Structure 1
Amino acid sequence: MISISSNLTIEDSQNEEMAKGMTSMTYSCFAAFALVCLLLQYLAQRTKSHISSANNKDFLRFQKKYFMVYFLALFGDWLQGPYVYKLYSHYGFMESQIAFLYVVGFGASVLFGTGTGTLADRFGRRKMCICFSILYSLCCLTKLFPNYYILMFGRILGGISTSLLFSTFEAWYVYEHVQTYDFPTEWISVTFSKATFWNSILAISAGVLADMTSEWLAFGPVSPFVVAIPFLLLSGVLVAQMWNENFGDQSAQSIKTCMEGLHLIFLKNKILLLGVVQSMFESVMYIFVFLWTPILDPGKPPLGMVFSVFMVCIMIGSLSYQLLSAKYMSSQKILTLAMFLSFFSMCLCIISTNPQEPKLMFSFIAFFLLEISVGLYFPSMSYLKSQVIPESHRANIMNWFRVPMNVITCFVLLWLHAEESKAGNQIIFVMCSVMMFIGTLTMWKLDALLNKEEFPGVEKANSEEDIE
C-alpha cells in the first residue's frame, strides 16, 4: 500500500511539474512571438512608410465598412475555438461521441454549404450575411444544454454558418470592390492581407477573453459561447444598416447554378488545381482543430492562452506575407511556401506523436509552424481566388471547394475513433503529411501554369504601393 501510494505521489508530482512547464512555455512563447510580431510589423511599416496611397479615402472608407462587420463575425467565431472540445468533454461525452459531433458539423457544411452560395447569389449576399448572424447565435445558444441531440442540432447550425462566413462575406466584398467601386483588382490582396493580420489580433484577444471567462472568472467552458452571441448579432445589425445588397446570377435555378459551378471547376485547370490546394490544406487545418486539444491536454496547458499563441503565429505569417509581397514575390509562390511549411510541420508531428514516446514540446513547435503557414495561406489563397474564380459563380465555387475538405475531415475523424490503436494520432499525421505533399506538388503545377499564361499573380509594385 505504501509503495502504491508512493508511486501515485511521484506520478502526481510529475504531472504537476509537467503542467507548470507547459504553462510556463505557453506564456514564454506568447511573449517571444509577440516581440517577433512587433519587429515584423515595424519592418512592414518601413516598406510602406513612403507610400501616399493611404490617402485614398474612398478605398479606406470602403475597407472600414467591410471590416467593421466581418471582424465582429470573426470575433464571435474565434471566441468558440478554444473550448469546443473542452465543453463537450465537460458535459461528460466520450471522445468518440465528440468526434461524431464534429463530423455532424462538417457533414452539414457538405450537405448545405454548396446551396448557401447559390442562395446568396439569388436572394442577395447581404441577406445571407444577416442569416449567418442569426443562425450562428442560435448555434451558440445550443451549447447551454448538455443534451447530445441539442448539441448535434447546434453543430448543424454551426456547419451552415461557417459555410456562410467563409464564402458569402468574401463574395460580397469582391463584388463591391470590382463592380460598385471599380477599384483595381490588385488592391484586393491588400484588403485580404490586412484582414488576415487583424483576424489574428481578434483571435488572440478572443483566446484571452475565453480563458478569462472560463478559467480566471470560473464561469466554465460554456461562457465563451454566451459571450460570442452579442458580437454575432451586432454584425448582423451592422450589415442591415451599412451594406448594399448585391447578387450573382438571380435568374439561374439553384440546382442548375450548383452544377454550372461544378462544371467550371473541372473545365478550367486553374480553378481545379486551386480547389485541390484548398482542399488539402484546409482538411489538414480542420483535423488539427480537433486534435490539438487532446494532444496537448496531458500537459494541462491553459487552453485559451495556447490558442492565443497559435493566433500570434498566424499574425507572424500574415506579416511575412506583407513583407514578401512587398519584395515582389507572387501570391502563388507565397502559397507554395505555406504548403511546404505545413508539410514539414506534419512530418514533425509524426515524430512527436509516437505512442511509445510522445514529445509534447515537439508537438507544440510543430503546431506553431502550422499556424505560421496558415497566416501565409489565407491572404495568398484569397487573392488567387479573386483572380481565378469568375464573379458569376464565386460563392458557389468557393462552397464546392469546401466539399472535399469536409468529406476528408469527416472520414479521418470517423476512422480515428473506429480504431482502438493508440497510434491513431500518429497515423492521422502520416495521412496529413501525404495530403500536404500532394498539395505542395499541385501548387507547384499551378504556379507553372499561371506563369505560363502570364497570369498577374505578382502584385504589381506600383499598384501595391499606391494603396498600402
Structure 2
Amino acid sequence: MMLITYLSFGVVGVICIVLQYWVRQTDKSPAIGNNPTFLQFQRVYFAAYLPAVVADWFQGPYLYKLYSHYGFQEDQIAMLYVCGFASNVLLGTWAPVAAEKFGRQKLCIIFTIIYSIACFFKLSQSYGVLILGRILGGIATSLLFSSFEAWYIHEHIESNDFPKEWIAVTFSKATFWNSILAVLAGIVANVSAEWLGLGPVSPFMLAIPCLVVSGLVVATQWKENYGKQQVKFGKSCFNGLRDIVTDSRIFLIGMIQSLFESSMYIFIFIWTPVLDPANASLGIVFSSFMVCALIGSAIFQLLLARRVLVVNLLGGAVACALFGYFVCIFATNPHNTNHRLAFVAFLLIEVAVGIYFPAMSNIRSRVVPEKVRLSVMTWFRVPLNLIACIVLMTLHNNSFRHGNRLIFVVCTALMAIASLALVKFISIVKDDEELGLGQTQEEEEEQLVPAV
C-alpha cells in the first residue's frame, strides 16, 4: 500500500500541474492589484497568515495516529474529535463578536498562543490533558478562520482605502498558497514522523515555530482595529434565524452546506483508521488529498469559464461525493477491507470538495444578504458540527459498532439528502433572474450592457 500511496501522489500531482497550467492559459481576466503599496500590504498579511495555516495543516495527517499511538481505543479517539468540533461550534459563534469588541489583532495573537499550548498538550498521554488540548484547538481554529480575514478586510477598506474588488485578489492568492502549503505540510509531516522516525507527535512540534513566527509578525507589523459599532449578538442571531426560516432558498443552501460539510468532518476522522492498517504513508496520503482538492478547484474554474452553471457545478460536487462514499461502503467490508479501492474513493471525495467550496461560496454570496451573512453562517455551523458529533458519538454504543462501513452508510445517506435538497433549490431559483443562477457567466454580463 505504501508504494501505491507514492505512485498515486505522483499521478495526481502531474494531473494537478497540467490543470493548473490550463487554468492560467484560459484566464483572460485583466490583471488588477499591481499597486506597489497594495502588494506590500499583502506581503505583511501573508507573512502572518500563511505560517498560521501551515501550523494548522501540519496537524492534519497524524492526529488520529497520535491518539492511537498513545493506546486509546476508537471510541475514546472519537470523543476527542467530538470535543474539538463542539468547542469550535460553541465558541465559533463568539469569535467574530469578540474580534469586533476587543480588537482583531489581539485575537490573532491569542490564536497563536492558544494553538501553541494545544500543540504542547499533544506531548501528554493523559486523556484529560488531550481533551483540553482538543478544546483549545477548536477555539483556535474558529479564531483562525474569522479574525485574520476580518483584520485584513478592515485594513484594506478603512485604513488603506484600496478598491473593494482587490479583496478578491488577495483571498484568491491566499487560497492558492494555502493549498500549496497544505501539500508541502503533508510531505514534511511524513518525513518527520516516518522517514526520520520522530513519531506522530513531531508534526505538532513543527507547528509551534510557525505559530511563533505568525504571532511575532502580528504583534510587530500589524496595527489594532475594531468594529465600527458594537455587534448586538442576540439581535444578529435572531435576524439570521428569521431569514433562514422565512427564505426557502437560504434554508436549502444551509441544509446542503450542513450535510456536505458534516460528512467531510466525519471523513476527516475516519480516513486514518481505514488506511493506517495497510501501512499507508499518512503524510503522503494527506498531501494527495490536498492535491485532489486543487484538481477539483481547477475543474471548477475551467468549467465555469466554459459557461457551465454554478448550480450544476455544485450538483456535480455533491454527486461525486455521493458516489465516493457509496464506493467506500463496499471497500470497507469488515471481513475483507479493500484499502486500494477505499483510497481511490477518498481521492474522488477530495476532488468533490475542491469543486464544492468555490461553487458554494459563489451561490451563498448571491443568496444570503450581506447584512445577515455572519449570523446566517453561524447558524449553518450548528447542524454541521452537531451531525458530525452525533455520528462519531454513536461509536460509544455497542449496538452501532459494525465497523467503518456504517459510517460510510451514514455519509452516503447524508449526501443523498443533500442531493434532494439541491434539486429542490434548483427548481426554486432557476427562473430567478435577480440571482442569475440559471444563467451562464456570459448571459449575466450581457444583462449588464444597456440596450441601444
* TM-score above 0.5: yes
Percent identical across equivalent pairs? 49
The structure 1 residue matched to 2:86, chosen from 107, 125, 133, is 107
Matched-pair contact (CA < 8 Å) for 2:33–2:169: no
Change in 2 beyond 3 A, CA 1:385/1:62: farther
**CA deviations over 1:356-392 (Å, ceiling 9, x no partner):** 3321111111100011111112223334444444444
Query: Against the structure 1 CA distance between its residues 443 and 423, is the aligned structure 2 distance closer, same or farther, given a 3 Å change threshold?
Result: same
8 Å contact kept, 1:273–1:446: yes
TM-fit CA distance, 1:446? 3.5
| 1:145 alignment counterpart | 124
Count, aligned residues? 442
For structure 1, which segment, 198-207 or 149-158, has the greater mean C-alpha deviation from structure 2 after superposition? 198-207
Match of 1:261 in 2: 240
- Code of the aligned partner of 1:69: A
Mapped pair 1:164 → 2:143? yes
1:212-291 aligned at under 5 Å gives the runs 212-243=191-222, 245=224, 247-248=226-227, 250-291=229-270
Find out whether 1:333 has 2:312 as its counterpart: yes
> Structure 1 445/462 Cα, relative in aligned 2: closer, same or farther at 3 Å?
closer
Name the CA distance, whole Å, in 2 between partners of 1:243 and 1:226.
26
Deviations 1:331-375 (A, max 9, x none): 443222211211111111111112233211111111000111111
* 1:16 matched residue in structure 2: none
Structure 1 CA distance for aligned equivalents of residues 314 and 35 of structure 2: 28
Of the three residues 282, 286, 303, the one matched with 2:282 is 303
SS in 1 for 2:60: helix
Pair 1:41 & 2:17 matched: no
- Indicate the residue corresponding to 1:79 in structure 2: 58
Do the aligned partners of residues 190 and 52 (structure 1) sit closer, same or farther apart at CA in structure 2, a change above 3 Å counting? closer
* Counterpart in the other structure of 2:434: 454
For 2:42 and 2:303, how far apart are their aligned partners in 1? Answer: 22
Structure of higher RCO (CA pairs closer than 8 Å, 6+ residues apart): 1
Name the counterpart of 1:15.
none
Aligned residue for 1:220, secondary structure, equals coil
Is the aligned partner of 1:315 residue 2:294?
yes
Question: Could you tell me how far apart the structure 2 residues matched to 1:65 and 1:398 are?
Answer: 28
2:112 to 118, 127, 133: 133
How far is the alpha carbon of 1:243 from its aligned partner?
Answer: 4.5
2:321 corresponds, among 342, 345, 349, to 342
Alignment of 1:142-221 (within 5 A): 142-173=121-152, 181=161, 183=163, 191-221=170-200
After TM superposition, give the deviation of residue 198 of structure 1 in Å: 2.4
Question: Structure 2: how far apart are the matches of 1:459 and 1:231?
Answer: 42
More moved, 162-171 vs 368-377 = 162-171
Superposed CA deviations along residues 130-185 of structure 1, whole A, max 9, x for unmatched, are 32222111111111111111111111111112222233434445556667746455
Whole-Å separation in 2 of the counterparts to 1:335 and 1:174: 27
Letter in 2 for 1:208: I
> Take 2:443 and 2:110, find their aligned partners in 1: how far apart are those partners?
39
The one-letter amino acid of 1:232's match is L
Contact 1:188 1:383 in 2 (8 A): no
Distance 1:386 1:129 in 2: 25
Match in the other structure for 1:5? none
> How far did 1:27 drift?
0.6
Q: Please list every run of 5 or more consecutive structure 1 residues that lacks an aligned counterpart in the other structure.
A: 1-21
1:423 Cα shift? 2.9
Shift of 1:306: 0.9
- Give TM-score, length-normalised by structure 1: 0.85
Aligned match of 1:91 in 70, 75, 86? 70
Structure 2 partner of 1:366: 345
Alpha-carbon distance between aligned partners in 1 of 2:50 and 2:428, rounded to the nearest angstrom: 34
Equivalent-residue separation in structure 2 for 1:443 and 1:58 (angstroms): 43
RMSD (Å) for aligned C-alpha atoms? 2.9
In the superposition, relative to structure 1, how do residues 362 and 190 fare at CA in structure 2: closer, same or farther (>3 Å)? farther
Alpha-carbon deviation of 1:266?
2.7
Shift of 1:252: 3.6
What are the superposed Cα offsets for residues 4-47 of structure 1, whole Å, 9 maximum, x if unpaired? Answer: xxxxxxxxxxxxxxxxxx11111101111111011111111111
- Give the unaligned 5+ runs of structure 2: 446-452
8 Å contact from structure 1 (residues 70, 169) kept in 2: yes
Task: Give the SS at the match of 1:455.
Answer: coil
Q: Is the 8 A contact 1:279 1:405 kept in 2?
A: yes
Alignment of 1:339-418 (within 5 A): 339-418=318-397
**Alpha-carbon distance in 2 for matches of 1:385, 1:244:** 31
1:196 touches 1:318 (CA, 8 Å); kept in 2? no
Alpha-carbon separation, structure 2, partners of 1:397 and 1:60: 33
Alpha-carbon deviation of 1:281? Answer: 1.2
CA shift in 2, pair 1:324/1:244, >3 Å: farther
Where does residue 448 of structure 2 map in the other structure? none
**1:66–1:266: structure 2 CA closer, same or farther, 3 Å change rule?**
farther
- On the 8 A contact 2:118/2:133 being kept in 1, the answer is yes
- What's the CA shift for 1:227? 0.7
Distance 2:251 2:38 in 1: 32
The CA distance in 1 between the partners of 2:201 and 2:64, in whole Å, is 11
The 8 Å contact of residues 436 and 444 in structure 2, kept in 1 or not, is answered as no
**Shift in CA distance, 386/244, structure 1 to aligned 2, threshold 3 Å:** farther
Q: Give deviations 1:298-318, integer Å, cap 9, x for gaps.
A: 211111111111111111112
User: 1:50 and 1:115, CA in 2 relative to 1: closer, same or farther beyond 3 A?
Assistant: closer
Partner deviation per Cα, 1:215-246 (whole Å, 9 max, x = no partner): 12221111111110121232233334445655
What's the secondary structure of 1:81's corresponding residue?
coil
The equivalent of 1:442 in structure 2 is 421
2:274 and 2:326 mapped to 1: Cα distance?
A: 16
Question: In 2, distance between residues paired with 1:246 and 1:263?
Answer: 30
Task: Decide whether aligned partners of structure 1 residues 397 and 71 sit closer, same or farther in structure 2, where only a CA change above 3 A counts.
Answer: farther
The alpha-carbon deviation at position 75 of structure 1 amounts to: 0.9
What amino acid does structure 2 have at the position aligned with 1:88? Answer: Y
